[in-house]
Structure 1
């Protein structure tokens, strides 16, 4: 929020200065400070954006693409500005009202954009100050929950894959996670047996767990739930 608020002020000054003012001599230092601040804020915004957008799943592809395009356009804009004002460094130091020879409609549009950015800056600055005044809760460390999705393409007919995953004896022949798999006598409301899973890890240690079907459609879908007290 802070970087975006600062950027509104920087844009407002650019949109109001560039179409109306002429900087001469050492006064060109004001433009140098302005554009340097613009670059610094842009870098800081990119640096923080990954963390600030983490709760939203990251930066959308469209916005990422827009950042790339705008970076190129800003580079061209800075080069054009540099070429336009370079000769003014030799003039007496001063700042005067001297609109460039561009269409009045374009100059009016930039003025409106500057005024809008200035109003937005004031509004966002008030929101940021209100946010800073809010009492902060002491952060507590929460266990990080991550979802893991694994997808594997198997070069075999679906009937073969189904047979070797649904038959406990065949399953343990290829799945190194389990040493033994057996059906228990207990059944759920749908008639599916609970399964006992065991894995020998060596030195007499064994991990014991259970499994049950959540969904099963012949040759189409097999969804399982696992649990263990170990």
Structure 2
């Protein structure tokens, strides 16, 4: 039950720690998604909460949901204006050069019959910027903190693979795949006019600890 995963709750906002493997949008095959859990996240309201942004199926961590339409519009504006601060943690297959930096690589969508669709670096694509900082290196893998300034589809995953040369461990599209994708939305801060900001932190999942990385 996702009611046990609540990180923040008030009259207009809800932040949950989304489990890895749970898609935000309903898959075409009709399998379980966030929608199947929304009834249990009403907390006394008649209306289901609505996801304000997206996390990939295999990415865990902070997901913001609005509890009324007016709040939803304000939160969307905050995301679009770049006011929301997001922090991700990832284990990468490989070790990037340097200790930290800012990745500035525009992204575009490509599709082939063999591989399906994916995102890739494309000068004619949409601007995408991601700050990164190396936290730890162990056994040929690196533990990295990412702070994206934009919110493009698969942004961190593509930037890690194409620019840092070290894809996210377990990434089925840009890496070698595997049992678990080690990408986690660790914290989220959303400013609100006239109110305290929404601040949420999601604990590091067990799959990171099992891979040998802790904070």
Give TM-score scaled by structure 1 length. 0.20
Give TM-score scaled by structure 2 length. 0.21
Higher strand share goes to which structure? 2
Higher helix share goes to which structure? 1
Q: Which has the larger radius of gyration?
A: 1
